[in-house]
A and B are shown apart, each in its own frame.
Chain A
Amino acid sequence: MAIEDRLGAVILAALVLYALSGGADYGGGMWDLLASGPRASRQRAAIEHAIGPIWEANHVWLILVIVVFFTAFPPGFAATMTALHIPMTAVLIGIVLRGSAFVFRRYDARDDAVHRRWSVLFGAASFFTPFALGLCLGALASGEIRVIDGRLSSGFFAGWTRPFAVACGLFALGLFAFLAATYLTVDSESEPDLQEDFRTRALTAGLLLAPLAAVTFLLARNGAPTIFGRLTSRWAPALVGVTSVCAIGALVALWYRRFHWARAAAVGQVACVLVGWGLAQYPYLVIPDLTLTNAATVPSTLHAMQSALAVGAVVLFPAFGYLYYVFKRRQVPPPGDWHRRRQ
């Protein structure tokens, strides 16, 4: 494996982790906006509780994607950010409003009317942002963004304004909504009625996902021919098979209330979808003109980058593990509970 391929794999891996963590946070925001029924406010509280301590750390995966992208593949980054200026700006505005609304809501929650106003902004941005991200990924796969002699020649609307990109955006929404609802069934284990609410939501989203996936796949025939060709040949049946098994497995596990199994299957499903997209896209960054090889920067930087990533991973993963250990384990008061005792 060439070094630029390894760094491409790092970008894909970071994207998968972003989808699994940050993506679920978007999904949480969607369910916050859609909270309904007699337990709506408890649903919101559960979502807030699940996202609260970790969303900023989850969000950094996206920054890692961007940083590795522009360090290792500067021409690819320049072309992408120019061609997708409009949807990327939309993503940014969504990220800013969403993060701010979430934290403002915590501190500005004196009455329910105010709480609701921030919730609406938070929820709306949670829909809007992943949709725009989906548009961008769809555009990269479309083959319509052209870079001739190092210059972008396809203008500012290529790719992301097509039906295929829109389908990718909607698919991203569905995927994250499903993922979040499935996570929340596990997080709300101590409250069975709440758990049932999230189970219903997960099942609904999971079932809606199937036609969405089919439409996206069919639109790819004309909208992203390179990807479509890959997904209908060679190794693809195996991967599509695994994805389908995960998807169906998740639904079955939700039906039989095996929530931990459902969560594992949903994680597998989301990872498979993104890895499948990555493999179908390989070796292109931007189909058809920029590849991992022709957009790679100088070797010395690639090697330095690789070392930095290795060292960073050694620091990062244990820290992340600790964060999740502290906040996601079963909630009993820890032995060294000195703050509470004092009060």
Chain B
Amino acid sequence: MTDLDFARSQMALSLAFHIVFAAVGIGMPLLMAVAEALYLRTREPVYLDLARRWASGTAILFAVGAVSGTVLSFELGLLWPGFMQYAGGIIGMPFSLEGFAFFTEAIFLGIYLYGWDRIPAVLHWLAGIVVAASGMLSAVFVVMVNAWMNAPTGFEVVDGRVTNVDPIAVMLNPASSGQVVHMLLAAYVATGFVVAGVHAFFLLRDRANAFHRHALGIALGVGALATPLQIASGDVIARMVAQRQPAKLAAMEAHYHTGAAAPLTIGGIPDDAAMTTRYGLHIPWALSLLAWHDPSASVRGLDSIPRDEWPNTRIVHWAFDLMVGAGSAMLAVAGWAGWLWWRWRRVPDERWLLRALVVAGPLGLIAIEAGWVVTEVGRQPWIIYGVMRTAEAVTPMPGLAVPFTTFTGVYMFLSVVLVYLLRRQFIETDPRAVRRVRGGPLDVSRGD
């Protein structure tokens, strides 16, 4: 592996690690706020327990998200100084706004987590709303930056120097709206499903447990509502990619030969040398239909792209299929749950549905990881699409294997500890047990 490969791997690792916490940091505050709103309305203690329990999980995840996000902001310069020197002044505006949104989120999360007994109930709930809104906003701004890397607009280059930067045009670049909506919905779907999966697991053991039943209702509600919207937003974003980044679309679909009435390839082993995909499932006309909503439309294949501008076809294609597969599975489960819910007029607890929800729990996060692989690896070899190659942006620092190995070790260690801690948070099926954790934000024994 070259230093460039190590730099890309370290960035990929850091993003893959951070995105889990970022997504949950967007989704969990919404669930908490819904639970607390239901408590304020119904005064049923189970909702308050729920909000507190979710808050304690969020506290762990948010802290790790905050530090892993810091790592990313440094790594932009540590690994990609060429990119930052060129683009720092262009993408700085959304990054600054993200900084403020994150600031607001951190402040109000502090108030939310530690303020249960210190501020009036409605103010406490409003703090939760601010956390949810600012978490959403930080995602909006960060995704805008990534969208700009896919669709760089809002600046000019005169004599090799960036000039005439229009920060608003940068933020509202053509890829922004599609990517932002797709990411936000992804966060709600993923959080909804992962939380629903956890509570479904406990309901399977103890179906009379009101706590887990109410939890499942809220999480499943959010996840199941967001899933169909997410599929629709995926359709919008795919058409945008077809127009703006034909190489990425061709790699996603392992589509080598430009032509009308293009078939859709599912799975298989793309072979760049032979320009064909072996063992895949080919569905006639479907790609043209998906990309242009016209079964006879022509779709550009990789043959229309210079060979040195191809992304890694196998990774992009397989990641795309994984994302779509996970999304379809969640849609099926959401549809099943929604149907039962509508028919029974109560939170569905059918045994096989609960089992399906447990299995579907991690699918949202898997889809998020796969989706980011599609958009990031699919943009290669560019770091700024059509403007700057990733190889031009990397640091001249040698020996990047060392920090890569170090961060891999640190992240693996953190993952193991996190899984262990979260598992223990949830394994205590008595919702009151969590308050016994010494010094935790829910610890009322400290006499604050």
Contacts and interface: CB of A to CB of B under 8 A. Distances in A.
Given A48-B439, A85-B397, A57 B164 contact: no
A67 B95 contact: yes
A100 B115 contact: no
Contacts of A339: 48, 116-117, 121
A89 B78 contact: yes
Interface in B412-427: 414, 417, 421, 424-425
Contacts of B111: 53, 322-323, 326
Given A56-B110, A323-B107, A339-B48, A156 B397 contact: yes
Pick from A45, A107, A308 the residue with the most CB of B within 10 Å.
Answer: A107
B73 A63 contact: yes
B347 interface: no
Contacts of A13: none
A307 to B, nearest CB: 9
Contacts of A97: 410
B92 A70 contact: yes
Contacts of A81: 74, 77-78, 81, 84, 395
B90 A301 contact: yes
Contacts of B438: 106, 109, 115
B307 interface: no
A298 B104 contact: no
A106 B439 contact: yes
Given A56-B62, A70-B92, A77-B88, A316 B120 contact: no
Contact of A319 (B91, B108, B163): B108
A208 interface: no
Contact of A99 (B63, B115, B406, B417): B63
A299 to B, nearest CB: 9
A343 B435 CA distance: 12
Interface residues of B, number: 83
B275 to A, nearest CB: 39
Interface stretch (B181-189, B197-205, B329-337, B440-448): B440-448
A282 B66 CA distance: 31
Pick from A98, A300, A343 the residue with the most CB of B within 10 Å.
Answer: A300
A78 B97 CA distance: 21
B429 interface: no
A334 B93 contact: no
A45 B448 CA distance: 13
A68 B92 CA distance: 8
A312 interface: yes
A35 interface: no
B85 A107 contact: no
Contacts of B71: 92, 95-96
A327 B114 CA distance: 8
B103 interface: yes
Interface string B40-80: 00000100100000001001101110111111011111100
A54 interface: yes
Contacts of B407: 93
A194 to B, nearest CB: 15
A8 to B, nearest CB: 15
A56 B102 CA distance: 10
A67 B66 contact: no
Given A315-B104, A326-B111, A63 B99 contact: yes
B115 to A, nearest CB: 6
Given A92-B71, A96-B68, A57 B396 contact: no
B165 interface: yes
A336 B163 CA distance: 55
A56 B403 CA distance: 25
B109 interface: yes
A56 B75 CA distance: 19
A77 B406 CA distance: 23
Contacts of B209: none
Given A156-B397, A327-B114, A337-B117, A297 B88 contact: yes
B100 interface: yes
B437 interface: yes
B88 A74 contact: yes
Interface string B358-397: 0000000000000000000000000000000000000111
Contacts of B116: 339
Contact of B96 (A67, A320, A338): A67
B29 to A, nearest CB: 14
Interface in A188-247: none
A326 B68 contact: no
B440 to A, nearest CB: 5
A66 B73 contact: yes
B110 A54 contact: yes
A281 interface: no
B237 interface: no
Nearest to A58: B106
Given A67-B73, A338-B121, 11 more contacts: A57-B107, A93-B407, A96-B414, A103-B63, A107-B60, A109-B439, A301-B89, A319-B103, A326-B111, A339-B48, A340-B117
Interface of B: 45, 48, 56, 59-60, 62-64, 66-71, 73-78, 81-82, 84-93, 95-100, 102-104, 106-111, 113-121, 123, 162-167, 395-397, 403, 406-407, 410, 414, 417, 421, 424-425, 437-441, 444, 446, 448
For the complex of A and B, list the 6 residue pairs with the smallest distance between their C-beta atoms, beginning with the closest.
A71-B92, A297-B89, A74-B88, A81-B77, A336-B120, A78-B81
5 contacts: A54-B110, A70-B77, A71-B88, A95-B70, A300-B166
Interface of A: 45, 48-49, 52-54, 56-57, 59-60, 62-64, 66-68, 70-75, 77-82, 85, 88-89, 91-93, 95-100, 102-104, 106-109, 115, 150, 152, 156, 297-298, 300-301, 304-305, 308-309, 311-312, 315-316, 319-320, 322-323, 326-327, 331, 333-340, 342-343
